[in-house]
A = this chain, B = another copy of it.
Amino acid sequence: MTTRGGSPTIVDVAREAGVSIKTVSRVLNHEPGVHESTRDQVLKVVEALRYRPKQSARSLAGGRSFLIGLLYYDPSALFVGSVQQGATLRCRELGYHLVVESLHNDAPDLRQQIDRMVMALRPDGMILTPPLCDNPEVLAALRESGTPCVLMSPERDIRGVPSVRMDDVHAAEEITNLLLSLGHRRIAFIKGPPDQSASAARFEGFTHALRSHDVELDPELVQPGAFTFQSGRDAAHQLLSRRQRPTAVFASNDDMALGVLAAAQRLGLSVPGELSVVGFDDSPTAALVWPPLTTVRQPVAEMARTAVEMLVFGHKADPNAPVDETELHKVLPHELVVRDSSTRAR
């Protein structure tokens, strides 16, 4: 026996391997300057004893917690689920762990809640999802505590603060181009809520595509929306009861596109026969409804993986090195998902 009860410690490994604990520590942390035979011997003992360094001891001595925090607001959002999925997997690969905290964006004690978590856990980094990543109070609390952050799809980038996002403008342009290439000219657009920057970005992509194809935008075909099923259905009712109906609708997210589908069905309009419908997000239901929805897939899990990497590898070099702002704000490629809800205009 190498230890009286309990799990093995670094001392057990050192004794068994006939080296000092410092050498064991070196091997475990992949530090250079250890003879290969020594390293092998240590690793063999580590394996035999099933030794794993204790996070609390490493953290206390080394100042790194191997913890990444994920702050989020809306628990029902699929976005958060995907973020978490990507982040938790990448963390595991890198020997980190993910601590999650659900906050209210407008809680009076938001500041305190963040402080408590940061002071107690000392996470090595924090991932912020919308709308928390756009909340000045949250950002200030984290900055003051010196906790590195990565913002996921923030409204706008902040100088010096790392972020990951996709290109909403481009994606919206692409999906509009798809409709245009299918011969659609009367294309309606259902906007998102004005307080989300994605709304404006997607609309910009839409208008840009129209313009570059010399298609004039009919203001009557642009409807406000709120990124909800309900608002999509309502907007569609407006659009589809016009004397001159659109041949296609671009709902700027999937929930609204599903609302459009429901409205069309209720009005007896066949999709895509009489109306093409496209969405944005590639929500799980987008593939399940009838007809399956043409949409844009956000690389959310990949964005989260990238966020973890930025936090883990971020400040490796000297902190006074000039930061490259382009390296700080990553844009990940999206994907056009073409399904049955879009077809050639007749």
Q: State whether the Cβ of A197 lies closer than 8 Å to any Cβ in chain B.
A: no
B84 & A288 in contact (Cβ 8 Å cutoff): no
Distance, CA A113 to CA B120, complexed state (A): 25
Question: Across the interface, which residues of B come within 8 angstroms of A101, CB to CB?
Answer: 88, 92, 97-98
**Least Cβ–Cβ distance between A265 and chain B, in angstroms:** 7
Taken together, the copies of this chain in the complex come to: 2
A56 & B60 in contact (Cβ 8 Å cutoff): yes
Question: Across the interface, which residues of B come within 8 angstroms of A59, CB to CB?
Answer: 55-56
Question: Across the interface, which residues of B come within 8 angstroms of A89, CB to CB?
Answer: 102
**Least Cβ–Cβ distance between A2 and chain B, in angstroms:** 15
A119 & B7 in contact (Cβ 8 Å cutoff): yes
Tell me the nearest residue of chain B to A70, going by C-beta. B100
Q: Which one of A73-81, A164-172, A274-282 is at the interface?
A: A73-81
Question: Across the interface, which residues of B come within 8 angstroms of A56, CB to CB?
Answer: 55-57, 59-60, 65, 122
Interface residues in A, total, Cβ within 8 A: 49
B115 & A50 in contact (Cβ 8 Å cutoff): yes
B120 & A54 in contact (Cβ 8 Å cutoff): yes
Question: Across the interface, which residues of B come within 8 angstroms of A328, CB to CB?
Answer: none
Among A56, A65, A81, the most chain B Cβ lie within 10 Å of the Cβ of A56
Residues of A participating in the B interface, judged by any CB pair closer than 8 Å: 7, 50, 52-57, 59-60, 65-67, 75-76, 78, 80-82, 84-85, 88-89, 92, 95, 97-102, 113, 115-117, 119-122, 228-230, 262, 265, 284-285, 288-290
**Least Cβ–Cβ distance between A190 and chain B, in angstroms:** 16
Question: Across the interface, which residues of B come within 8 angstroms of A97, CB to CB?
Answer: 99, 101, 117, 120-121
A76 & B284 in contact (Cβ 8 Å cutoff): yes
Query: How would you classify the secondary structure of chain A's contact residues: helix, strand, loop or mixed?
Result: helix
Do A119 and B88 contact each other (CB < 8 Å), given the known contacts A98-B99, A229-B288? no
B92 & A122 in contact (Cβ 8 Å cutoff): no
Do A81 and B75 contact each other (CB < 8 Å), given the known contacts A56-B56, A66-B120, A229-B288? yes
A52 & B115 in contact (Cβ 8 Å cutoff): yes
Distance, CA A66 to CA B265, complexed state (A): 53
Distance, CA A289 to CA B7, complexed state (A): 54
Do A100 and B102 contact each other (CB < 8 Å), given the known contacts A76-B81, A122-B55? no
Question: Across the interface, which residues of B come within 8 angstroms of A52, CB to CB?
Answer: 115-116, 119-120
